[in-house]
A and B are shown apart, each in its own frame.
Chain A
């Protein structure tokens, strides 16, 4: 994915935020809607109040049928109409446009119907007067003993009563009673000229009343419809509010659920996207820091860690190059060091060889002297004397042979690099023998305090010999032509290490030089007399054997080197070790 870390962060933060914002926006919208709907409910309630007012006045008008009630009714209608027309088209759209338009149209129709009805009422009143006049005429006619004896005054009075009832009640019962009364009248006198206007006007009145009644019904139907419409508006809006609240609740819950699930998911995913390359880089740096500098940071992500990884890899390339060149230099240095160590070895061997060569001169001289004198005196010598001469030659050649043998042994031992169980006491004694001639030549006394018992360490014979020969030669050279070399061996208190102490009675080393004496090429000798590697080589060989070398020196008194080696079996090995008896260190001089 080619996204930068900050892109990933923005995405990770933006998505849960968007969910939250969406939830808020929806909630706000729903609350605004609910607010609006409450307004519509109010409008609906107001309209309903006005309609109820109209209906009350309608009932009054239908009851009183007079001008005043008509006026009141019109006032109420105009209030309703004003209120309805004051409602904005937007609102009407919201609360049901077609219904509302029908409602508004109905108001006009209703008002017209009322006016028509009032006109009908006036006509009905006129006819009522006519009916009454015709009734009174008929009444007068019958009371004068008019038309027939079947037509009695009481019948007419009864008929007038029915007529009054009908006028008063306008109901079906009074109508049926009156109608049957009129039928009776027609049956009593089928062709009655005096009766027919009454009957005719009455029938006209019936017709008018019937028409009025149907108009009243129409008006009431419209009024009912008004009531129903306005009631429905309020009810519908209330229902809408309720459903909005339900919907809002549901949406809020959904938004909350999304926020709770997707939010952490996105945050986690974002964190993972950001952290994964960094983690990968950190892991690789850890592995590199553990030593494998051939490793490289993977170039997977194209975010900020990409350039970091590229820089890191470039740095590693440089580091590897430097490392390789350093290793080459180190290799070269090791070669040079090995050469120097070898030259130091040769120098010490040279010293030994020159000692041995001088030592050889004595038996050789004895042989040549004996042989020469024997040759000179050959004829004078008796057989016993001759035998003595030959024996001398033989013994001296044997002596020379031993010297050469020792040298060969030494040379052979130097070639071996095997680390094995070695008797350190024996090696110290052997090393002393190797430099015995040097001691003699330089007038140096030897004080050797080495136990008879074998003391074992793990090591290489020639290397250990070289350690001691180097230290001995160093001591001899320090003492010049006189002094005492003291060599002693002892074990430490825990019987874990063997200590070999080598003391000379040389001039000692000043403290400022003492710290440098194990440094390669450090020498106090004149140019050409020492490479300055002897003690350094000894120290490295001692370390190779797990040992230590320490030096103490006092100017004018001498120097003591203490070489410490772990006893055989003290380096986690199971082989038995030689015991070292506790000894008094025999320092002299």
Chain B
């Protein structure tokens, strides 16, 4: 699941990870993403931090409430260390700042996948 109010991010990441062999769904509004979480179980969630309405940290909390094993990778343009720390403490798998390298994201997703498989 990719959640970012920037449509381009959703669009690109969807195509990128589909090519990698993942099933990907992209959302520009966190509210509709949460609704989707009720219907499906997602293994990995890539979400923006600052969004209108429910922000990345809230989404993290909700998602982990529904599925504690879910791996949430947070990407944000506001690369403050304090927020990164807070996010990791709240159970985020990784914290990546914008603009990110595609490879960094890919590696993070692969790492999450490995951890999931390992379990």
Contact = CB atoms under 8 A, between A and B. Distances in A.
Contacts of A440: 50, 52
Interface in A433-449: 440-441, 443
Contacts of B35: none
Nearest to A376: B102
A368 B77 contact: no
B98 A365 contact: yes
A396 interface: yes
Contacts of B50: 440-441
A548 interface: no
Contacts of A364: 98-99
A368 B19 CA distance: 19
A369 interface: yes
**Interface size bucket, B side?**
20 to 34
A408 to B, nearest CB: 20
Contacts of B8: 366, 369-370, 392, 396
A362 B6 contact: yes
A283 interface: no
Grouping DSSP codes into helix (H, G, I), strand (E, B) and loop, the B interface class, with mixed when no group exceeds half, is loop
Contacts of A366: 6, 8-9
Given A373-B15, A396-B8, A362 B78 contact: no
Contacts of B78: 358, 361, 441
B101 interface: yes
B116 interface: no
Interface in B57-105: 77-79, 97-102
Contact of A372 (B19, B52, B102): B102
B106 to A, nearest CB: 10
Contacts of B98: 361-362, 364-365
Closest 4 CB pairs of A and B: A361-B77, A365-B98, A365-B99, A368-B99
22 contacts: A358-B77, A358-B78, A359-B77, A361-B97, A361-B98, A364-B99, A365-B99, A365-B100, A366-B9, A367-B99, A368-B99, A369-B9, A369-B12, A369-B99, A369-B100, A376-B16, A376-B102, A377-B19, A440-B50, A440-B52, A441-B50, A443-B55
Interface of A: 358-359, 361-362, 364-370, 372-373, 376-377, 392, 396, 440-441, 443
